[in-house]
């Protein structure tokens, strides 16, 4: 018992001072009108009520969900496809798996910058404009990220590109753990490849799919880097999400109380999702 | 089966292109001259090929300083993280004490708490400690996400090692510390190295905390510095691309070196199939 306390002490100091205490301060700040340079005053639920009725904040909530759901859906689809392709690869599978994982280890800021240039309106810097102009498919450059829909599509693509390799590799591991006899038995019974995929592969991947979807949902709904670097939430508020809006309100408008409240709005969602993910992850640990 | 083989080849080629084209675009721009980029010349390969962006980046910008700051931060955070995570990982995996399961759940929950939730209050706490605007802010804040993740990985690694070996050593008269040093640590080394590399990569790539906690342009890290390069009034696109290449290379090199460990470590540690 004594040894355990001693070994866990550094962890507890870290958790209490740098996670739990700041979190408590966040909740406290959300009930104040803290402006940088002024002492805070208790305002009760005023920040929460203000945001609920704020049109920008409603846009932010919608953007966050559009961004997250679109990214996650694309990652699941492409991840499955990537796993199937790797599973069918009979040579150098590890090499290709490593190659396709490259986006996942690259810094998010660099990925965001990269896709900013890929979609850039200016031909010399923008990949799509350079290639389309060179092939004479368009006669003048397109400002992809100047429209609200285009900007949202661009940040979703960047996020998708960063994340799908992790899905692919996880699903490949899942496919490899499905016993081959299941497929043989199904083939003997005359099931075609589509039915084998539908009735054996997908159910076999249920667990890993749930875990990857939930984990990525949690991290994507709170994403800051990709959107901040690519669009700063613009044009207008077209790609503003929880974290970037919270930053904007806290550090540009200097309203800390309201800024913190924006991120607190995600907490109920986290409280609902985190125990679910934890249960899945802890269950496989003890198994 | 030839149909499947053909489909796999087409699929691999498609995925390979999707992954490599953006990397190639950045790398090729980093070797183009200002005129080539500005006037959209020789768009597919840099012709003529030039190193001027790399030399310019090194001599005219603060990039070397940012690189130094990033390296110091990543090394310090990795060291801190490895020590704290090994101690707590070992305690949870090997010692029997009341509340052991709760500690394991707590670590997992902390790993899932997004940094975006804490940046404003953490800024205040660090300011009160007088730690903002220096690398100290990063040494203190990065472990809030590296430690839970690495501890979670290490619990898995330690649990996967057979406890019988340590017990045998202790029956033979070794103390717990000796058993740990001579038996467990050598066996767990691959796991510890993998977790250290994760800590290094997470610190090296971190952006949000560095952006907020450090205002001084000479004290910041590479990811924030790259953003300063764009919004500065200089339009050295090539230098920015060169900086992206230089920042990506060390992580990719580390990763090539231990790729299989990392994938297996991930599989064993967090998302098992």
Q: What is the pLDDT of residues A43-76, one digit of tens each?
A: 888 889 999 999 999 999 999 999 999 999 999 9
Mean pLDDT score across all residues of chain A: 89
ipTM, 2 dp:
0.89
Cβ distance A260 to B121 under 8 Å?
yes
Neighbour count for residue A264 (Cβ, 10 Å): 21
Please give the structure tokens belonging to residue B230. Answer: 């764009």
Indicate the residue of B92, B144, B156 with minimum beta-carbon distance to A18: B144
On chain B, the residues whose CB falls within 8 A of the CB of A103 are 19, 22
pLDDT, residue A43, reads 86
Which pLDDT band holds residue B260 (cuts at 50, 70, 90)? Answer: low
Question: Comparing C-alpha atoms, which of A260, A245, A115 is closest to residue B121?
Answer: A260
Please give the structure tokens belonging to residue A100. Answer: 């396709």
Give one DSSP letter per residue of A232-282, joined into a string.
Answer: TT-STTTT--HHHHHHIIIIIS-BHHHHHHHHHTTHHHHHHHHHHHHHHHH
B37 to chain A, minimum CA–CA distance in Å?
A: 5
Indicate the residue of A89, A98, A106 with minimum beta-carbon distance to B248: A106
Cβ distance B238 to B34 under 8 Å?
yes
pLDDT, residue B172, reads 84
Which pLDDT band holds residue B183 (cuts at 50, 70, 90)? Answer: confident
Cβ distance B227 to A107 under 8 Å?
no
Asked if pLDDT for residue B179 goes beyond 90, the answer is: no
Inside any domain, residue A187: yes
Q: What percent of chain B has pLDDT over 70?
A: 92
Q: B201 CB near a chain A CB, below 8 Å?
A: yes
What are the angstrom distances between the C-alpha of A70 and each of A213, A221, B41, B171? 12, 11, 36, 57
Inside any domain, residue A218: yes
Return the biggest CA–CA distance within chain A. 76
A131 vs A69, higher pLDDT? A69
Compute the distance between CA of residue A28 and CA of residue A286 in angstroms, rounded to an integer: 37
pLDDT, residue B38, reads 77
pLDDT, residue A245, reads 95
| Domain tally, chain A | 1
Contact B259 A117 (CB under 8 A): no
Mean pLDDT score across all residues of chain B: 86
Contact A7 B90 (CB under 8 A): yes
Q: Which residues, 6+ apart, have CB-to-CB distance to B172 below 8 Å?
A: none
Q: Which residues, 6+ apart, have CB-to-CB distance to A42 below 8 Å?
A: A31, A32
Q: Which of A121-125, B71-75, B221-225 has the lowest mean pLDDT?
A: A121-125
A90 vs B2, higher pLDDT? A90
Asked if pLDDT for residue B271 goes beyond 50, the answer is: no
SS3 A42: strand
Q: What percent of chain A has pLDDT over 90?
A: 45
Inside any domain, residue A190: yes
Compute the distance between CA of residue A38 and CA of residue A28 in angstroms, rounded to an integer: 16
Host domain of residue A231: 38-49+56-286
Cβ distance B199 to B150 under 8 Å?
yes
Inside any domain, residue A32: no
Contacting B residues, span 39-68, partner chain A, CB-CB under 8 Å: 39-41, 43
Compute the distance between CA of residue A143 and CA of residue A122 in angstroms, rounded to an integer: 8
Asked if pLDDT for residue B177 goes beyond 60, the answer is: yes
A109 to chain B, minimum CA–CA distance in Å?
A: 6
Inside any domain, residue A20: no
pLDDT, residue B145, reads 93
pLDDT, residue A184, reads 84
Q: What's phi and psi for B32, nearest 5 deg?
A: -100, 155
On chain B, the residues whose CB falls within 8 A of the CB of A14 are 84, 143-144, 147
Peptide bond connecting A235 to the previous residue in cis, omega within 30 degrees of 0: yes
What's the average model confidence in pLDDT over A33-49?
85
- ∠ CA A268-A272-A273, nearest 5°, is 120
B137 to chain A, minimum CA–CA distance in Å?
A: 11
Which pLDDT band holds residue B273 (cuts at 50, 70, 90)? Answer: very low
Which pLDDT band holds residue B270 (cuts at 50, 70, 90)? Answer: very low
Question: Comparing C-alpha atoms, which of B191, B6, A177, B173 is closest to residue B182?
Answer: B173
A38 to chain B, minimum CA–CA distance in Å?
A: 14
Indicate the residue of A3, A22, A81 with minimum beta-carbon distance to B122: A22
Question: Comparing C-alpha atoms, which of A126, A145, A151, A166 is closest to residue A67?
Answer: A151
Neighbour count for residue B161 (Cβ, 10 Å): 16
Compute the distance between CA of residue A244 and CA of residue A259 in angstroms, rounded to an integer: 10
CATH number at residue A272: 1.10.3720.10
Which pLDDT band holds residue B269 (cuts at 50, 70, 90)? Answer: very low
Inside any domain, residue A207: yes
pLDDT, residue A179, reads 87
B250 vs B77, higher pLDDT? B77
Domains of chain B in sequence order: 1-60 (no CATH), 62-269 (1.10.3720.10)
Contact A127 B22 (CB under 8 A): yes
pLDDT digits (tens, 9 = 90+) for B203-214: 999 999 999 999
pLDDT, residue B21, reads 94
DSSP annotation of A45 reads: T
Which pLDDT band holds residue A181 (cuts at 50, 70, 90)? Answer: confident
Inside any domain, residue A140: yes
Which pLDDT band holds residue B69 (cuts at 50, 70, 90)? Answer: very high
On chain A, the residues whose CB falls within 8 A of the CB of B100 are 4
Indicate the residue of B83, B105, B226 with minimum beta-carbon distance to A113: B226
Asked if pLDDT for residue B3 goes beyond 90, the answer is: no
Compute the distance between CA of residue B116 and CA of residue B227 in angstroms, rounded to an integer: 19
Q: Which residues, 6+ apart, have CB-to-CB distance to A52 below 8 Å?
A: none
What's the average model confidence in pLDDT over A255-267?
90
Which pLDDT band holds residue B160 (cuts at 50, 70, 90)? Answer: confident
pLDDT, residue B171, reads 84
Q: Which of A20-24, A179-183, A241-245 has the lowest mean pLDDT?
A: A179-183
Selected residue of B116, B156, B208 to mutate for chain A interface (largest A Cβ count, 10 A): B116
Inside any domain, residue A88: yes
Q: Which of A102-111, A177-186, B228-237 has the lowest mean pLDDT?
A: B228-237
Selected residue of A23, A105, A269 to mutate for chain B interface (largest B Cβ count, 10 A): A105
Asked if pLDDT for residue B268 goes beyond 50, the answer is: no
Give B59: exposed, middle or buried? Use CB within 10 Å, 0-12, 13-18, 19+.
exposed
Indicate the residue of B104, B144, B272 with minimum beta-carbon distance to A14: B144
Residue A80 C-beta-side C-alpha neighbours within 13 Å:
16
Q: B253 CB near a chain A CB, below 8 Å?
A: no
pLDDT, residue B5, reads 83
């Amino acid at each position: 018992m004594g040894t355990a306390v001693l070994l866990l002490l550094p962890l507890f100091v870290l958790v209490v001072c740098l996670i739990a205490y700041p979190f408590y301060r966040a909740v406290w700040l959300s009930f104040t009108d803290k402006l940088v340079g002024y002492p805070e005053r208790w305002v009760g639920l005023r920040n929460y009520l203000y945001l609920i009725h704020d049109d920008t904040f409603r846009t932010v909530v919608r953007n966050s969900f559009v961004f997250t759901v679109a990214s996650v859906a694309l990652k699941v689809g492409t991840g499955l496809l990537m796993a199937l392709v790797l599973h069918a690869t009979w040579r150098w599978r590890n090499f290709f798996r490593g190659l396709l994982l490259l986006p996942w280890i690259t810094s998010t800021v660099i990925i965001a910058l990269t896709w900013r240039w890929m979609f850039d309106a200016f031909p010399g810097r923008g990949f799509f404009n350079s290639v389309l102009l060179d092939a004479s498919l368009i006669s003048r450059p397109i400002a992809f990220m100047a429209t609200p829909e285009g900007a949202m599509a661009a940040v979703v693509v960047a996020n998708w590109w960063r994340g799908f390799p992790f899905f692919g590799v996880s699903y490949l591991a899942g496919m490899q753990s499905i016993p081959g006899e299941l497929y043989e038995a199904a083939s003997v019974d005359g099931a075609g490849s589509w039915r084998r995929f539908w009735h054996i592969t997908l159910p076999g991947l249920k667990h890993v799919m749930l875990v990857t979807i939930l984990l990525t949902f949690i991290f994507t709904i709170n994403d800051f880097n990709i959107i901040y670097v690519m669009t700063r939430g613009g044009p207008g508020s077209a790609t503003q999400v929880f974290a970037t809006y919270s930053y904007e309100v806290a550090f540009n408008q200097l309203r800390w109380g309201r800024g913190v409240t924006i991120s607190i709005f995600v907490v109920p969602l986290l409280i609902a999702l985190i125990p679910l993910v934890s249960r899945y992850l802890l269950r496989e640990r003890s198994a | 089966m030839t149909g499947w083989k053909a489909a796999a080849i087409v699929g691999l080629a498609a995925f390979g292109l999707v992954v490599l084209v953006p990397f190639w675009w950045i790398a090729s721009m980093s070797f183009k001259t200002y005129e080539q980029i500005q006037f959209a010349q020789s768009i597919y390969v840099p012709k003529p090929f030039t190193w001027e962006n790399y030399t310019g980046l090194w001599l005219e910008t603060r990039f070397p300083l940012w690189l130094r700051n990033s390296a110091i931060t990543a090394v310090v955070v990795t060291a801190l993280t490895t020590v704290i995570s090994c101690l707590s990982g070992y305690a949870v995996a090997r010692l029997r004490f009341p509340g052991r399961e709760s500690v394991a759940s707590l670590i997992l929950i902390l790993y899932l708490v997004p940094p975006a939730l804490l940046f404003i209050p953490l800024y205040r706490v660090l300011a009160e400690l007088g730690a903002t605007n220096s690398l100290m802010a990063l040494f203190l804040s990065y472990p809030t996400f590296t430690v839970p993740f690495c501890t979670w990985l290490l619990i898995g690694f330690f649990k996967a090692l057979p406890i019988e070996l340590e017990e045998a050593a202790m029956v033979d008269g070794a103390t717990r510390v000796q058993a740990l040093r001579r038996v467990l640590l050598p066996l767990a080394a691959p796991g510890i190295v993998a977790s250290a590399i994760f800590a290094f990569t997470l610190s090296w790539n971190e952006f949000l905390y560095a952006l907020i906690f450090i205002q001084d342009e000479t004290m910041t890290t590479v990811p924030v510095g790259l953003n300063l390069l764009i919004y500065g009034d200089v339009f050295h696109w090539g230098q920015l691309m060169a900086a992206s290449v230089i920042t990506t290379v060390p992580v990719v090199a580390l990763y090539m070196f231990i790729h299989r460990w990392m994938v297996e470590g991930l599989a064993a540690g967090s998302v098992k199939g």
